[in-house]
């Protein structure tokens, strides 16, 4: 039916009884109208003919009647020129959904949310990939264009929002390559036609070259531990706690009251690399450290600077900490590797040490052995604590005793 689309009519209009939807056609503009569904949803529509086909375009109700009329008149102009505005809109929407950026965002929304590193991946894409290739149709991106992008990342040619040059290098380039490869392979698995342009040999480094083997010497360990004892704020205790628990920096940073169960720290699967709960039987030394943490009311985290958030800003803290301890060229993750090496020095069984770090045991043993090894892990962490104590406070004429395998009970 044709009506005068006044503000009062638009506000009170409802679908006709028994109808799924009703269109009220504008008396003053043929083909333009207000559509109302039986559930009360509203939108603007414009109906036209393209060749022998009748087409109907819709516009969001929030546009308002005047802006919707303008959009409809644009469509009318397109029809007059021999075009098909609805078909052209669909093509434009399809192209927008097929850009590299839109594919990346879809990947992060669907699969990336399960990744602990999703935030870091998204940040890298925004800073390094989207500015160069984000608006391009993913199936038009060539291998040579990706190579040139990696060259720029390796050479450090990108700048952040403040104009500061982003640190590049071959490792950074390989990380970006890994992100793009993963997303393009994911898209290829969902597309009938797309084939990833990435091939073997595009990496700038080899895995063996990227792997770190840094382990703190006894002198360095003493310097780090002693500096941590007097370092202001939570960072010193945090460094010592990583050593005593052989955990990753983000795992240790987010330890909270809710993750403690008796003498155990249970790192939930939601934030552990293997996607399984990881139980760390805390040594007495580790529990003592938690007891020294300066707690903030209503803040569940042990290592925090306030605002109910865990400790962050690791780079800034560590820069000041390095000046105090005098040890250079080390990362927080090197503490985990150092702790694992100290377990071996203390005579901890290799399998038990690996389980302490949450590493999977491969082969038949990993498949069929479902023993929790709690007692063995508890003894291993106590042995680690004792080994650290021997290094921090060495005593003459004391020979470390090799521990015997734990008795599970």
Give the CA distances from residue 289 to residues 110, 212, 240, in Å, rounded to whole numbers and listed in that order: 40, 28, 8
What is the CATH architecture of 100-210? Orthogonal Bundle (1.10)
Backbone dihedral region for residue 397 (phi beyond 0: left; psi -120 to 50: alpha; all else: beta): left
Query: Would you say domain 2-86 falls under CATH 3.40.50.410?
Result: no
Residue of 277, 307, 316, 291 lying closest to 240 (CA atoms): 291
Question: What mean pLDDT comes out for the span 131-143?
Answer: 92
Residues of the chain with CATH 1.10.150: 100-210
pLDDT at 396 over 70: no
Residue 209 pLDDT level (bands cut at 50, 70, 90): low
What pLDDT score does 370 carry? 53
Least confident range from 155-164, 227-236, 271-280: namely 155-164
pLDDT at 388 over 90: yes
Question: What mean pLDDT comes out for the span 119-140?
Answer: 90
pLDDT in tens, 322-377: 999 999 989 999 999 999 999 999 999 999 999 999 987 666 555 555 578 999 99
pLDDT at 219 over 50: yes
Residues of the chain with CATH 1.10.443.10: 218-392
What does the alpha-carbon distance between residue 115 and residue 186 come to, in Å, rounded to a whole number?
Answer: 14
Q: How many CB atoms lie within 10 A of CB 87?
A: 13
Specify whether the CB–CB gap between 123 and 146 falls below 8 A. no
Residue 53 pLDDT level (bands cut at 50, 70, 90): confident
Residue 164 pLDDT level (bands cut at 50, 70, 90): confident
Residues of the chain with CATH 3.30.160.390: 2-86
SS3 127: helix
pLDDT in tens, 63-114: 999 999 999 999 888 888 888 888 888 777 766 678 999 999 999 988 876 6
Question: What mean pLDDT comes out for the span 6-14?
Answer: 91
What pLDDT score does 208 carry? 66
Q: Is 383 exposed, middle or buried (0-12, 13-18, 19+ CB in 10 A)?
A: buried
pLDDT at 165 over 70: yes
Query: Would you say domain 218-392 falls under CATH 1.10.443.10?
Result: yes
pLDDT in tens, 373-387: 999 999 999 999 999
What pLDDT score does 25 carry? 94
Tokens of 394: 């060495």
What pLDDT score does 245 carry? 97
What pLDDT score does 167 carry? 78
SS3 331: coil
What pLDDT score does 210 carry? 61
What pLDDT score does 119 carry? 81
pLDDT at 406 over 60: no
Could you tell me which residue, 207 or 169, shows the higher pLDDT?
A: 169
Tokens of 142: 């060539």
What pLDDT score does 408 carry? 45
């Amino acid at each position: 039916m044709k009506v005068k689309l006044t503000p009062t009519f638009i506000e009170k209009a409802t679908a006709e009884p028994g109808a799924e939807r009703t269109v009220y056609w504008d008396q003053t503009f043929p083909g333009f109208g207000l559509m109302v569904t039986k559930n009360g949803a509203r939108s603007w529509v414009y109906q036209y003919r393209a060749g022998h086909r009748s087409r109907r375009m819709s516009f969001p109700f929030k546009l308002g009647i005047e802006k919707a009329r303008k959009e409809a008149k644009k469509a009318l102009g397109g029809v007059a020129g021999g075009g098909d505005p609805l078909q052209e809109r669909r093509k434009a929407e399809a192209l927008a959904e097929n850009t590299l950026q839109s594919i990346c965002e879809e990947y992060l929304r669907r699969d990336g949310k399960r990744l602990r590193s999703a935030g870091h991946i998204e940040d890298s894409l925004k800073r390094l990939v989207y500015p160069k290739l984000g608006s391009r149709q993913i199936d038009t991106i060539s291998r040579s264009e990706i190579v040139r992008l990696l060259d720029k990342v390796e050479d450090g040619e990108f700048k952040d929002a403040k104009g500061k040059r982003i640190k590049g290098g071959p490792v950074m380039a390989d990380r970006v390559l890994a992100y793009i490869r993963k997303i393009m392979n994911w898209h290829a698995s969902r597309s009938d036609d797309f084939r990833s342009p990435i091939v073997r040999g595009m990496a700038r480094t080899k895995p063996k070259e990227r792997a770190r083997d840094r382990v703190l010497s006894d002198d360095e360990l003493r310097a780090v531990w002693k500096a941590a004892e007097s370092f202001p704020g939570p960072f010193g205790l945090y460094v010592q706690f990583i050593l005593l628990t052989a955990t990753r920096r983000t795992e240790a940073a987010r330890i909270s009251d809710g993750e403690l169960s008796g003498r155990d720290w249970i790192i939930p699967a939601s934030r552990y690399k293997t996607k399984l709960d990881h139980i760390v039987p805390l040594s007495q030394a580790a529990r003592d450290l938690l007891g020294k943490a300066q707690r903030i009311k209503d803040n569940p985290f042990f290592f925090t600077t306030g605002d109910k958030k865990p400790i962050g800003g690791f780079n800034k803290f560590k820069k000041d900490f390095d000046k105090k301890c005098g040890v250079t060229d080390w990362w927080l993750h090197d503490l985990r590797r150092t702790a694992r090496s100290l377990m071996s020095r203390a005579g901890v069984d290799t399998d038990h040490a690996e389980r302490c770090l949450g590493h999977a045991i491969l082969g038949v043993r990993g498949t069929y052995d479902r023993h929790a090894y709690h007692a063995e892990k508890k003894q291993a962490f106590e042995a680690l604590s004792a080994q650290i104590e021997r290094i921090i406070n060495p005593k003459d004429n004391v020979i470390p005793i090799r521990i015997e395998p734990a008795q599970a009970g």
